[in-house]
Amino acid sequence: MGWMNDAVAAIWRGLSFRAGTPGPTDDFWYETPSRMSQAGMRITPDLALKSSALYAVVRVLAETMATMPLQMFRDLGERGREPAPDHPLDEIIRFQPNSWQTAVEFWEMMMFHAVLRGTGYAQIVPGRRGAIDQLWPLHTDRVRVERLKDQSLRFRVSNPHTGVEQVLLQEEIFRIPGLSSDGVTGIRVVDLAADAIGLGLAADTYAGRVFSNRLNIGGFLIHPGKLSPEAQKGLVNALMEKAAGAENAHRPVVLAEGFKFERGVETARNSQLLEARKYQVAEIARFFRVPLHMLDIDDQTNRSTVEAQAIDFVKYTLRPWGRRIEQAIRRDLIIAKRTYSAKYNMNAL
């Protein structure tokens, strides 16, 4: 694929690097190792967001979970359960987890980090509302997890402004890991999907270079003789009148004797490029189990199929995330675990 080599070269020409050694508080020192894709790009979470497909996936998951109703319930034994609006946590998880964020903003950020970086973290802060007065979200790249000899966890959190490291114990952290291989931190899917993301970004870059720097010629009319400028202009006008525009699409055109039409090379290459870009979108969506219609991709499915995919999206994508968050709240935030629980209302979707 010749366009891929051009794309990678164009990307590297456009990269800029900071001179000198980063300061002690620079994000450089806290970013987790990146993954080199087959397209020759070193994929980090921030760079991956430049992929419109990945950005759309993260946004769909973060916004959907953040706006789904979540509240505290009281267990009534055989009588089921009832809402517990009087529980101190209800105000925190439903309306305002801290002094500067709404609940939607908080859960959106937690999901953003959990989906993009594997785990979402928040510091538990006591105060006027009790042992859990506020939840302060933490940037995943600035959190380091240690497992102690007694199997409890300790967290080292770097302050983004001062660079000072703060040590927090397990009872001081609320965390939401995604699919995990160690039971503590979630797998960073961006690393696994680096090849798909890198190829998608390379295709986007190449497409931009093509349309900004190259002629877009659909084909050539070839004649063995020599035409005057007037004859050339008349021929082009006649051809445009018969063949240009949507109303003339696929209509046969009879060329004058001696003329031959040859399709432009770029037409075939651009067609391959469009197919490659669509394939990479599907690849990225597959990693996160998000249906293509939610990424504004027309995959030729009918309405009944889209409805079935939407149901599957709730069952197989949103419900696992919902259960993770519900059980993380129970583990890290609820004291009376046998009496109270946090539940999403999946039926609201």
DSSP string covering 282-337: HHHHHHHT--GGGGT---S--HHHHHHHHHHHIIIIIHHHHHHHHHHHHHHT-SST
Residue whose C-alpha is closest to residue 281's, from 264, 304, 299: 299
Distances (CA, A) of 198 to 12, 25, 271, 288: 12, 28, 20, 16
- Asked whether the predicted pLDDT for residue 289 surpasses 50, the reply is yes
CA distance 297 to 173: 39
Residues 96, 90: contact at Cβ < 8 Å? no
Give the pLDDT band of residue 277 (cuts 50, 70, 90): confident
pLDDT at 254: 62
Higher pLDDT, 270 or 145: 145
Average model confidence (pLDDT) for the chain?
82
pLDDT at 269: 58
d(CA 103, CA 109): 10
| CB 234, CB 43: distance < 8 Å | no
pLDDT in tens, 118-171: 999 999 999 887 889 999 999 999 999 999 999 999 999 998 888 889 999 999
Q: What is the pLDDT of residue 160?
A: 81
Q: What is the pLDDT of residues 252-266, one digit of tens each?
A: 666 666 667 666 555
Tell me, what DSSP letter sits at residue 247? G
75: tokens are: 């267990």
Give the integer Cα–Cα distance in Å for 255 and 306: 45
Q: List strand residue ranges (DSSP E) for the chain, in order.
A: 35-36, 42-43, 70-75, 81-83, 119-127, 130-138, 143-147, 153-158, 165-169, 173-177, 219-222, 260-263, 340-344
Domain range summary for the chain, segments of one domain joined by +: 2-195+307-348, 219-263
How many helices and strands in the chain, by DSSP H and E? Answer: 11, 13
pLDDT tens for residues 177-223? Answer: 999 999 999 999 999 999 889 888 877 776 666 565 554 555 666 76
- Is the dihedral angle over the CA atoms 206, 209, 212, 216 positive or is it negative? negative
**Token couple for 191:** 């690393």
Cα distances (Å, whole numbers) of residue 111 to 27, 29, 339? 21, 24, 27
pLDDT for 19 equals 44
Helix axes 2-14, 265-288, angle to 10 degrees: 70
Q: Is 187 helix (H, G, I), strand (E, B) or coil?
A: coil
pLDDT band at 312 (very low <50, low <70, confident <90, very high): very high
Of the candidate ranges 47-56, 60-69, 300-309, the one whose mean pLDDT is the lowest: 300-309
Say if residue 15's pLDDT is above 60.
Answer: no
Q: Which two tokens stand for residue 135?
A: 């939840």
